[in-house]
Chains A and B, each alone.
Chain A
Amino acid sequence: MKNYKTVVLSNQEISTGYYRMRILAPGFGSKAKPGQFLMFRVQTSLPPLLRRPFGIFRTGFLPADCDGQAPKEFVEILYKVVGRGTDIMSNLQVGSKVEVLGPLGRGFDMGVPGEQKILVGGGIGLVPLYMLARELTRKSSVRLLMGGRTREDILAVTEFERLGVETYVSTDDGSLGEEGLVTQVLLRKLDKYPNASVYACGPMPMIEAVQEICAARGVPLQVSLEALMACGVGACLGCVVKGAGHSEASPRYLCSCKEGPVFRAEQLDWTKLGQEPGYCEGCKI
């Protein structure tokens, strides 16, 4: 991990309020593992003051130029405009300079090869699942269950399909795929594949519901959590989450940026994990 000064290769709105940005990633794109993230410095003037963490959606190589240079690495992120930081990012043009710190954090454990894998994504929570799917499809059968409020929250599904992933879409309003919650689909899939492993990323209520289902059925679950972060390298301890065995009398916290953002479900204390005041509400400045 290092701080890289690089440039934007493309930055486009792919659905209302959702953007896809590709940056040149010399020396770090190909090093990134599924589930890792980058800290973006949105601009060098203020505000916003702090960097913003973004999960890595995809890495790859640009084709070699005719000048015979080696193929150049790139990284793609998908992000939703939620506050001033992401608003500024959405206005960055091709060639804009950006600073990124990374790749940071612990990613997903690939689990046992050959077993069924079910990925559950909610809205922008889909981001870290694409690299994961790309890795898992080499050795396992992979299904993606993708949920959102409306069709606008459903992103990049065809790209998963191109990897050979079976995809199932559900929306709260029925505007795309099945009407209802993604967890309904999960229950059905687990009936069919009771020995599957589950990987989830999305809004906290969705993650909590997935955890309840997986815990009740004894299914292994890994979750990628979103957290407010200042440093991204384990120094500020601002992004901690409650670990298993946590109590008020003997608090136990895990650092999301260093020990996560991917956790095995049993590492965490699920009591009111997402119901604390202000959780995930911090980036509005």
Chain B
Amino acid sequence: MKNKRPSLAVEIAGIKLKNPVMPASGTFGYGEEYAPFIDLERLGAIVTKGLSLAPKAGNPTPRIAETISGMLNAIGLQNVGVDAFIQHKLPFLREINTPVIVNFFGNTLDEYGEVARRLSDIPEVAGVELNISCPNVKQGGIVFGTDPKAASEVVGLVRKHLKKPLIVKLTPNVTDISVTARAAEEAGADAICCINTLTGMAVDVKTRRPRLANKTGGLSGPAIRPVAVRMVHQVVQAVKVPVIGVGGIMRPMDALEFLIVGAKAVQVGTANFVDPAVMMTIIDGIEAFCVEEGITDIHQLIGSLQL
């Protein structure tokens, strides 16, 4: 008898995904950058670079530094701005049969609200991912993500302005991530995405200066994966809404770790830079694992951690 292909479909906050694999914001541009390399329609979703109300030029250079099994970045959320995105980037994404999740942030509470309002009426946007976790900008970003009260306030405000599914992306740079996860859930998050990068620093020993112009940056890549798996595990215990796991996924088995601890979907970030087709390999690998293990539906795997 021929084996039936396992179902990899999942639903996050009402967004139907063909499979649980999507890019992490900021590592995939606006989708078109990777179109020459992969079939975007095979992805569970496309997650865009973080948008702000006005275009943002980003931080001074150097902005990246490689470390052992990881990279530090301090890009500073360079982006075209929400209106230019809608006008110039969305038409490309509209033609692709894959849900589009738009990541966004604000410098102030009002800006968060305004960007949410502008995205709310765009039919091609399946859902939004609220960034309260970028470590590389002075205003906005992590400022809202490290204080549960501030997180609650910004999530509540965005919820008021937004008629779409709301995913909140949390920072790992806190003592207890389950506290901010609960605060986000109570304030109206439909899903939680964790983690963003860990704040780090690297020094050029010859010049004795930081290797990033911003002094510190966000650490990503396989170096952070065990931290991410632990935090996703904690957040899954703390909230009822679905959790998207992200942090250092390079191979199918890395994605499986996150699913097993209870993430309903995963995001792949730095690995896209190393291998533009890595998400295809990960989707194929998850499917192959399911076939091998006799799993007919990915939900049999999600949260199947044995303790």
Contacts and interface: CB of A to CB of B under 8 A. Distances in A.
Given A235-B33, A276-B61, A278-B207, A46 B273 contact: no
A281 B58 CA distance: 21
B67 A2 contact: no
A252 B204 contact: no
Contacts of B67: 285
B28 A228 contact: no
Interface string B26-60: 11110001101100000000000000000001101
A206 interface: no
Interface in A209-247: 227-242
A161 B277 CA distance: 42
A24 to B, nearest CB: 20
B66 A282 contact: yes
Interface hub of B67, B75, B222 (most chain A Cβ within 10 A):
B75
B301 to A, nearest CB: 26
Interface string B64-79: 1111111101010010
Contact of A3 (B28, B71, B277): B277
B148 interface: no
Contacts of B210: 277-278
Contacts of A232: 273
B276 A230 contact: no
A101 B276 contact: yes
B30 to A, nearest CB: 9
Q: Is the interface of B mostly helix, strand, loop or mixed?
A: loop
A50 interface: yes
Instruction: Indicate the size class of the contact surface on chain A.
Output: 35 or more
A68 interface: no
A281 B207 contact: yes
29 contacts: A2-B36, A3-B37, A49-B70, A50-B66, A51-B274, A99-B275, A228-B64, A228-B65, A230-B71, A231-B27, A231-B273, A233-B29, A236-B73, A238-B64, A240-B58, A240-B78, A242-B61, A251-B57, A251-B58, A252-B57, A253-B57, A253-B61, A276-B213, A279-B62, A282-B64, A282-B65, A285-B66, A285-B67, A285-B68
Interface of A: 1-3, 41, 46-51, 99, 101, 227-242, 250-253, 276-279, 281-283, 285
Interface of B: 26-29, 33-34, 36-37, 57-58, 60-71, 73, 75, 78, 204, 206-207, 209-213, 221-222, 270, 272-277
